[in-house]
Chain A
Amino acid sequence: MFGIIGYSGAGKSTLIRLINLLEKPTSGTITIDGHDLTKLNERQLRKERRNIGMIFQHFNLLWSRTVAENIALPLELTNTKKSQRESRIAELIKMVGLEGKESAYPAQLSGGQKQRVGIARALVNNPKVLLCDEATSALDPKTTDSILSLLSSINQSLGITILLITHEMSVIQKICRRVAVLDQGCIVEEGSVTEVFQHPKQQITKEFIGSSDGDQEQKAMRLRDLAPKRATLVHLSADNPQLLQKNLARLLANTNLSIKVLGTERQDKGNQEKTLLAVEGTIHVMNDAFAAIRSEHAAIEVLNSNE
């Protein structure tokens, strides 16, 4: 499963449409499974396209046809026998989990169900490759997850290569093994998902990764929930952590303050990590201790005061 990520206008859609020649390349070749598609004539290309399934952001179903009829369309194009058609459709309806919706019209389905029809339609000819053009971008997060897990199980059970393009890092993170980052028509970074995530090289890759853990704040909230109820929360940071560490024990030795280290936090995308402490004790003892710490070239910042 290969993911391509890029901002709007980076050329993702063009790239994926080049693969089945919906867009004609001005130069270069496109080779799928040993066949060079750019050298084929119309008829050969149509035949080759049947080995390439495609699903779309806006599903692109025919609203004038029922679910079953939509899935049947690619088979009608090849004049498949009716009995054969029906058994294949039943198989696919089961695979994508749309039992009972066979004779519903697309207008009666939810977004997720429409995309399931799209997936069934794309798979009906047993393609070798499945192209996903922003397949989850029009769906809510929960539906996105269910579609992604469907794609991932199809990838494993049928052994189909899946190529997907998206602008959401989370989609890549969830199901792709390899990723390429596309910027202004060029692949600027490529590799296994874990590798690219851990050591992003390009600025644009870092931006995408940054946007995916946009739940920094949520993480911070969880840390704070660990604190005892009446504790005072402080941020502790120092220019010279070693020196602070050496002196901290001494500074706090005779204070009978109860101190609990909750974790580290990073604020406002700054690079400096601050240690989050929960402190319990009487207020003037606490203030004295903080003053002593500040005198050791460390910063201490009270986040809440429980008075």
Chain B
Amino acid sequence: MSEWLQSVDWPGMWLATGQTLYMTIISGFFTFILGILLGLLLYLTAKDGLFENQMIYGLIASFVNTFRSIPFIILIILLIPFTMLLLGTMIGATAALPAIVIGSAPFYGRLVEIGLREVDKGVIEAAQAMGATKWQIVLKVLLPEAMPALSSGMTVTFIALIGNTAMAGVIGAGGLGTIAYNEGFQTNNNLITFIATIIILVIVFLIQYIGDRITRRVDKR
């Protein structure tokens, strides 16, 4: 057993873990921002929304639906020209970020939209009756009141993100996905695949734990 474990390239494994965490956190950050924007736009421009606009709603909804439907592995390939344009390279952890964000933000955007819809209409009406502007309603009422849904939605999205980083690994993004595929699967070394899996599981559980704590903390209902 210990001989077995010694055969693992640990520095390489930790480096890969670092790359996975890097991709998860950075793409998570951008997914959060972009997802909130998309969700807000969907919510506000929808029928009976504060900025009802059928055209913008239709446009954003079809963008979101399209990018949510494309399987991620295909999306990465489709986005290679875009990534090249943006970063000048298509190899490495950073090059995987645009595809991961574009794959995840529409998903989170829908979760944000659902969360905003659950905000009590009466509270929005109360704010209008106080003489609040539309932006004040968004910033002071909608987003704070939807916070638990935004936070639990982000937890779910983060975990989906990790799956995407592993998949991006297959086409050379680095991280635990690359190790599990290149060194584990292709050299038939199941131990490596197994260890990479364990590390990913630990990261997932950790994110779930932190996400649950934050959600409980912001939920005063």
Contacts and interface: CB of A to CB of B under 8 A. Distances in A.
Interface of A: 20, 22, 45-50, 52, 54, 56, 58, 60-65, 73-74, 76-78, 105-107, 121, 125, 131
Nearest to B132: A77
Interface in B92-135: 120, 122-123, 125-133
A73 B221 contact: no
A107 B220 contact: yes
Given A73-B140, A77-B140, A107-B221, A60 B122 contact: yes
15 contacts: A20-B129, A22-B129, A45-B131, A47-B131, A48-B131, A56-B122, A60-B120, A60-B126, A64-B144, A65-B144, A74-B130, A76-B140, A105-B220, A106-B220, A121-B130
B141 A62 contact: yes
> Which of A56, A58, A62, A74 has the most C-beta atoms of chain B within 10 angstroms of its own C-beta?
A62
Contacts of A50: 130-131
Interface in B127-165: 127-133, 136, 140-141, 144-145, 147
Contacts of B144: 62, 64-65
Please list the 9 inter-chain residue pairs (A to B) with the smallest Cβ-Cβ separation, ordered nearest first.
A49-B131, A60-B126, A46-B131, A60-B122, A54-B129, A105-B220, A74-B130, A64-B144, A50-B131
What DSSP secondary structure best describes chain B's contact surface? helix
A52 B128 CA distance: 11
A49 B126 CA distance: 11
Given A46-B133, A125-B130, 6 more contacts: A50-B130, A61-B123, A61-B126, A74-B130, A74-B131, A107-B220
A105 B217 CA distance: 13
B218 interface: yes
Contacts of A131: 129
A263 to B, nearest CB: 48
Given A60-B120, A77-B136, A77-B140, A49 B129 contact: yes
A113 to B, nearest CB: 15
Interface of B: 120, 122-123, 125-133, 136, 140-141, 144-145, 147, 218, 220-221
Interface SS majority for chain A: mixed
Contacts of B128: 22, 49
Contacts of A54: 126, 129
Contact of B145 (A46, A49, A62): A62
A64 B122 contact: no
A191 to B, nearest CB: 29
B12 to A, nearest CB: 46
A201 to B, nearest CB: 34
Nearest to A55: B126
A22 B125 contact: yes
A20 B132 CA distance: 13
A78 B132 CA distance: 9
B145 A64 contact: yes
